[in-house]
Amino acid sequence: MDTLPSETDMSKPSDLVQGTLDLLLLKILALEPMHGWAISLRLRSISGDVLQVSEGSLYPALHKLEQEGWITAEWKQTENNRRAKFYSLTRLGRKELESETANWQRLSSAISYVVQLTEA
Amino acid sequence: MRLEHWLFTLPLRIRSIFRRRQVELELEEELRFHMENRIEEAVRNGLSPEQARQQALRAMDGLEQRKEEMRDARRVHWLTDFIDDLRFAARSLRRAPGLAALVVITLALGIGMTSTPFSMVDALIFRPYPVPDPGRVVTLVSTSRDTAFGAFSYREYLDIRDNTRSYEGVVASVSPQSVGFSARPGETPQVRGGMMVSGNYFRVLGVEPQAGRVFRDDEDLAPGRDAVVVLGPDFWKREFASDPSVVGRVVRLNGRDFTVVGVAPNEFQGMFIFMRPDFYVPLAMAPVFSTNPAKNFFEDRDDRELNVKARLRPDATLAEARAELAALARGFERDHPQVSRDRGAAVRTQFEMRTRGDDINWKFSVIFSVLAVAVLLVACTNVAGLLLSRASTRTREIAIRLSMGAGRLRLVRLLLTESLLLALMGGLGGIVVGYGSLSLMQKFQIPSELPVTVPFRMDVRILMASVLVSLLCAIACGLAPALQSTRADLVKGLKSADEELPGRRRLWGRNVLVVAQVSMSLMLLTAAFLMSRSFQQSMVDGTRFADAPLLMARFDPRLVQYDLGQSLRFYEQLTARARSLPGVEAVGLTQSPPLGLDDFDRLAFVPDGLEMPRDRENFISTMDTVDEGFFQTMGIPILWGRGVLPTDKVDAPRVAVVNEQFARHYWPALALADVVGKRLRLERSTGPSVEIVGIAQTVKYRGTTETPTDFVYLPVAQHPVARLVLLLRTNADPLQRVEPLKGVVRSLDANLPISELRTYRDLYRYHAVEGPGVAVDMVGTMGLVGLLLASAGLYGLMAYNVSRRTREIGIRMAIGAGRSDVLRLVMGKGLLLVGAGTAIGLVLGLGVEQLMNAMLFNAGRVDFVAYLVVAPSMLLVTMLAAYVPARRASRIAPTQALRCE
């Protein structure tokens, strides 16, 4: 984030494809209910430096998913006895995750097929 | 799937709207939790707390923007923004309560004053017939030289019904009439309003009964055979407490037993504007009810008493129907030249029927609508002016908002919300005002036993129209100032203290508003003044008899099965006994007293010896049937010759008394004295001869605003009618003679009902004073409201100008201008505007006078007195409105004025 985006035609590789953040968040929450801070830690650990998700865009995305009815929120105590907003997947969210995953796999296999074609 | 979606999201949306504060707090807490964890983590990694905080904030990439994004995610932005705007508007209006109150009151008056006339117009013109598919119900009329809306005879109706193909059915009815009704045989009959209809009436109109059945077509075939009756819904409720077992019961109408077969539905109150018939009987029962006694209802083709309506076939056009009926009418003319000469027939829609040129309701509707629109215009221009001056005092505020980054559209929305709030409050107020004035009209009592109602009411459409009008007002009055103020030059706006921006166009607009207001109000005032003056004038001429202490009572001996001879004997005895009552000075009989509720009969005649035009068989005049005591009792002077005498018996030579207008109309070259002795032929030039034996003074007959009308009086013995009004002239309070009169009637026939038993003055007051009085009051109120609003508007503008120019005035005074100079400076502008407004208003006033003359008074002359009163008083009031702020300006202390920003 300290470097300015290069002026080339190619997008920055770490920029998330549109809608990918939603898919990631749904996937993370499918494992267990979590609060925002834990989700940001998890994002950092699973994607490493390849996928840099700005912490700033995390919360608007979470709120958007909540308003879509895909995740639902609940205020609970953390292990350190502090109040935090825990998000969990709804039935609708699970359906959405399934269809989005299928979409993603179709798309990525198509792209990798195209990429291999040009190399061959 | 959709449902499940809403299951989760709807509570969230609702929460975001109604628990906004809570939702905001949770948003803050969630972010704080994140930030604290982030900072703790950084501190553990060896940063200082301050550095850690900076890093956390940077990672957020603009905390406030993120919050805004999160709020946007709630998708209720438009609504919460609107609520914010409303709050803001309410707050800023509370800061200027005087202005807000003025705008709301102005709008309330404007809308309220408009909704009353509009609901009248709705009831009188636009409300459709209460039947399914009312648009296809048309009225068939007989046309002649004297009327374009005539009735048909029974024979003509049968021919039309059987020989037309454009209609699903053709129905006929006779106007509602007084009927003696008793719920049980043997009870004293009461007078109720019944109506004869053809057997197919309900079926063709598509009216389904709410109990029992309606008439069958075959119940209208044989005269006098099927004594059945269908009750009206109100009558059923009132008289039978909505008892469904009434079907099959026997009631007595005019002394004959009728079986109740059904009850009309609540939606069907009849096809009239003012009348709600109590019950319906088949046309074939006409012998039991009153029809023209001189004619045979079922046979005479010129006994035209039937109103004919028809339902167009879906595949038939109005043009086809018209052509068909016209052809049929030509056939009548050919086959029955004696009675159908010069008669045509026409098909009229409901709208055409209600907007006929001779209809007083239509005339009043037009005049009221014009005036109401004028009031609304005055109110709207006033509001626009007020909002405009308010907007320009906020130049600086708006400039600050714009320079801080507020979007122009957003700002316009904010300002519009403000005027919307004002307009909605004004609209609500208007509905209250409208309800108030309508309920005043509802209180208005019509002195008749017949089921007559005032049909004006607030219905949903009127309310919707009022709300719509106020919304339009808001947009019209709010948009221009809003756009204008956001277009303001930022730098100038910030620099100067709410200064008027240079630019002639804007000032010009406001001046136009004031001129429009002054001229509209002047027009309204003129209308109000003219109306009340013509009204006063109309009460002076030809109505002097109304002050006499007269008691009236109507009798119809047919209700107890008297034949005509018995009826006449009854009246002879009645007048003889009434004359001998103590305190009674004179007694007279008339078919319908002048200025009463009933219309007069018409007399067809030919002045003897006059060569009739080739295409014309006779002339028509209104007439009354009276006895020898009438002229003296009523106090109508006989100018020449004599009145009716007791010797004008059935076997004596036939005589008539005509009024002065009649004499001058037909013998313009002769002196009144020479008209006495002239003869009339009744019906046609070969008809019975009648000698004119006297000339009576011309009075008002149908209404006080009428022009002089031809009138003929025939003696009751020679032109017998059964239904007559007895008039008693008393020497004290007429009501003291009520009981003695009842005693007299009881001694003659205990079962005979007395109707319309009241003082003549009551009738006169209703018909001639209170009815038009309502109209005069309404127009007067409109005029006053207009004047009030225009003065307020002018005052507001002048006061605003003065406050705007305080500094300039200060400078002028500091360099030597005197008070009178300042007064002249400020007043000059006001004078100019008022002058221009007055000039235009006078022209508009003349226009309205022409309209009113043409429609109501037929005076045809310009009433200069009205202008001499109205224009100066308008000038005076508006000058006062301009003077008060001007005087204030002239009192400004220069030192203070210069110090003020």
Q: Transcribe B368-420 into DSSP letters.
A: HHHHHHHHHHHHHHHHHHHHHHHHHHTHHHHHHHHHTT--HHHHHHHHHHHHH
**Range name among B7-11, B179-183, B341-345 with the lowest pLDDT average:** B7-11
DSSP bridge partners of B689: B681
Q: Residue B33: pLDDT above 50?
A: yes
Cα–Cα distance for residue pair B367/B473, rounded to 1 Å: 23
Side chain identity, residue B237 = K
Residue B348 CA, chain-centre distance (Å), reads: 22
Interatomic CA distance for residues B390 and B394, integer angstroms: 7
Q: Which residues contact B528 (CB under 8 A, 6 or more apart)?
A: B776, B779, B780, B781, B782, B783, B784
Tokens coding B250: 């026997």
Q: How many CB atoms lie within 10 A of CB B546?
A: 24
* Cβ neighbours of B70 in A, within 8 Å: 59-60, 63
| A81 in reach of chain B (CB within 8 A) | no
Tell me how far CA of residue B235 lies from CA of B238, B243, B248, B259, B280, in angstroms: 5, 11, 16, 16, 11
Q: Please name the amino acid found at residue A34.
A: M
Q: Is the pLDDT of residue A7 over 80?
A: no
User: CA dihedral in degrees (B580, B582, B586, B589; nearest 10)?
Assistant: -60
Q: Can you say how many angstroms the Cα of residue B504 is from the centroid of all Cα atoms in its chain?
A: 43
pLDDT one-digit tens code per residue, B105-118 = 888 888 887 777 77
Beta strands in B383-539 (DSSP E): none
- Is the confidence at residue B859, as pLDDT, over 60? no
Cβ contact B26:B40 at 8 Å? no
| DSSP 8-state secondary structure symbol assigned to residue B463 | H
**pLDDT value of residue A2:** 40
Assess whether pLDDT exceeds 90 at residue B231. Answer: yes
How many angstroms separate the CA atoms of B608 and B628, rounded?
A: 25
Which alpha helices (H) appear in B635-723, and where do they start and end? Answer: 660-666, 672-675
Asked if residues A78 and B85 have their Cβ atoms less than 8 Å apart, the reply is no
- In this complex, do B38 and A82 lie within 8 Å of one another by their Cβ atoms? no
Q: Which helix (H) or strand (E) holds B484?
A: helix B460-486
Provide the 8-state DSSP code for A52. Answer: -
Cβ-Cβ contacts under 8 Å, A82 against chain B: 33
pLDDT of residue B506 exceeding 60: no
Residues of chain A in contact with residue B33, where contact means CB-CB under 8 angstroms, are: 35-37, 82-85
DSSP symbol at B275: B
Residues of B in contact with A37 (CB under 8 A): 33-34, 37-38
What b/e sequence results for B72-101 when a residue is b if at least 16 CB atoms lie within 10 Å of its CB, and e otherwise?
ebbebeeeeeeeebeeebeebbeeeeebbe
- Residue range B729-737: mean pLDDT, rounded: 86
pLDDT, one tens digit per residue, over B624-677 is: 999 999 999 998 999 999 999 999 988 899 999 999 999 999 998 888 889 999
pLDDT at residue B632 in the model: 92
C-alpha span between B390 and B482 (Å, rounded): 10
Q: How far apart are CA B725 and CA B703, in angstroms?
A: 19
Identify which of B280, B314, B286, B346 has the alpha carbon closest to the alpha carbon of residue B143: B346
Q: For residue B30, give the nearest of A36, A56, A90 by CB distance.
A: A36
**pLDDT band, residue B721 (cuts 50/70/90):** confident
Tokens of B754: 């007395």
Instruction: Judge whether residue B620 has pLDDT over 90.
Output: no
**Cα-Cα-Cα-Cα dihedral sign, residues B875, B876, B877, B883:** positive
Q: Cβ contacts of residue B400 below 8 Å, gap of 6+?
A: B494
Cβ contact B166:B318 at 8 Å = no
What is the average pLDDT value for chain B, to the nearest integer? 82
User: A92 vs B9: CB contact, 8 Å cut-off?
Assistant: no
The answer for A 3-32 residues in CB contact with B (under 8 A) is none
- B329 contacts: CB under 8 Å, gap ≥ 6: B142, B340, B343, B344, B345
Identity (one letter) of the amino acid at B340? S
Map tokens 């129907």 to a residue. Answer: B321
Interface residue A55 vs chain B (CB under 8 A):
yes
Inter-chain residue contact A67 with B33, CB threshold 8 Å: no
Order of strands across the sheet with A83-89? Answer: A34-35, A83-89, A71-77
Q: Would you call A40 and B4 a contact, using CB atoms and an 8 Å cutoff?
A: no
Give yes or no for a contact between B381 and B517, defined as CB atoms under 8 angstroms apart.
yes
Please give the pLDDT value at position B454.
Answer: 64
**Under an 8 A CB cutoff, do A84 and B69 touch?**
no
Residue B451's pLDDT band (boundaries 50, 70, 90)? low
DSSP states along B15-41: HHHHTHHHHHHHHHHHHHHHHHHHHHH
Nearest to B209 by CA among B187, B181, B230: B230
Cβ–Cβ contact A66 with B under 8 A: yes
For B778-817, what is each residue's pLDDT tens digit? Answer: 777 777 887 787 777 777 777 777 767 777 778 888 888 8
Cβ neighbours of B22 in A, within 8 Å: none
- The span from the CA of B182 to the CA of B258, in Å, is 10
pLDDT at B626: 94
Q: How many CA atoms lie within 13 A of B304 on its CB side?
A: 19
DSSP-based three-state secondary structure for B439: helix
Q: What is the pLDDT of residue B900?
A: 54
Q: Which of B5-9, B53-57, B391-395 has the lowest mean pLDDT?
A: B391-395
**Higher confidence at residue B222 or residue B389?**
B222
- pLDDT tens column, B560-614: 778 888 899 999 999 999 999 888 999 999 998 888 777 788 888 988 877 777 7
C-alpha closest to that of B426 among B365, B368, B480, B384: B384
- Integer Cα distance of B654 and B659 in angstroms: 17
In this structure, the strands spanning B177-182 and B250-253 are antiparallel
Closest CA to B878 of B454, B522, B553: B522
**What was the pLDDT predicted at B67?**
83
Task: Provide the percentage of residues in chain B whose pLDDT is more than 90.
Answer: 21
Q: How far apart are CA B822 and CA B816, in angstroms?
A: 11
pTM of the model: 0.67
Asked whether A28 and A45 are in contact (CB, 8 A), the reply is: no
| Identity of the residue numbered B449 | E
Report the candidate in B8, B13, B25 with the shortest Cα–Cα distance to residue B77. Answer: B13
Alpha helices in chain A (DSSP H): 20-31, 36-47, 55-68, 91-119
Q: What is the pLDDT of residue B758?
A: 86
Distance from CA of B3 to the nearest CA of A (A): 11
Domain ranges of chain A: 20-119
Confidence grade of residue B728 (pLDDT, cut at 50, 70, 90): very high
pLDDT of residue B766: 73
Residues 6+ apart with CB under 8 A from B621: B602, B603, B605, B662, B710, B711, B712
Give the pLDDT score at B599.
77
What's CA B103's distance to the chain center, in Å?
27
3-state secondary structure of B790: helix
Q: At what angle do helices B49-60 and A55-68 cross, to 10 degrees?
A: 50
CA nearest B849: which of B871, B836, B866?
A: B866
Q: Which of B383, B387, B411 is nearest to B397 (CA)?
A: B411
Provide the pLDDT for residue B213.
93
Classify A20-119 by CATH class.
mainly alpha
**Per-residue pLDDT at B521:** 82
Distance from CA of A102 to the nearest CA of B (A): 19
Q: Taking CB atoms and an 8 Å limit, are A69 and B60 in contact across chains?
A: no
User: What phi and psi, each to the nearest 5 degrees, are found at residue B228?
Assistant: -125, 155
**Pairwise CA distance, residues A96 & B1, whole Å:** 11
| pLDDT above 80 for B854 | no
Question: The dihedral of CA B562, B566, B568, B572: what is its sign?
Answer: negative
Q: Quick one: pLDDT at residue B629?
A: 92
The strand pairing partners of B725, in sequence order, are B554, B590
CA B772, B778, B782, B785 dihedral sign is positive
Percent of chain A with pLDDT over 90: 6
Q: Which positions in chain B touch A69 (Cβ < 8 Å)? A: 4-9
Q: How many CA atoms lie within 13 A of B516 on its CB side?
A: 18
Which residue did the predictor score with more confidence, A49 or B700?
A: B700
State the pLDDT at residue B263.
95
The pLDDT-based confidence of A5 (bands split at 50, 70, 90) is very low
- Examine the pLDDT at B488 and tell me if it is beyond 70: no
* Nearest Cα residue to B343 out of B354, B333, B328: B333
Query: What is the amino acid identity at position B475?
Result: I
CA of B51 vs chain A CAs: smallest distance (Å): 16
Which tokens in the block code for residue B884?
């008060």
Task: Write out the residues of chain B at the interface with chain A, using a CB-CB cutoff of 8 A.
Answer: 1, 4-9, 12-13, 26, 29-31, 33-34, 37-38, 58-63, 65-66, 69-70, 72-75
Q: Quick one: tokens of B107?
A: 């709008």
Do residue B33 and residue A66 have CB atoms under 8 angstroms apart?
A: no
Asked if B715 and B548 count as a contact pair (C-beta separation under 8 A), the reply is no
Which residue, among B3, B7, B12, would best test binding to A if mutated, counting the most A CBs under 10 Å from its CB? B12
CB contact under 8 A, A56 and B37: no
Min Cα distance A69 → chain B (Å) is 5
Three-state DSSP at B863 gives coil
CB atoms within 10 A of CB B848: 19
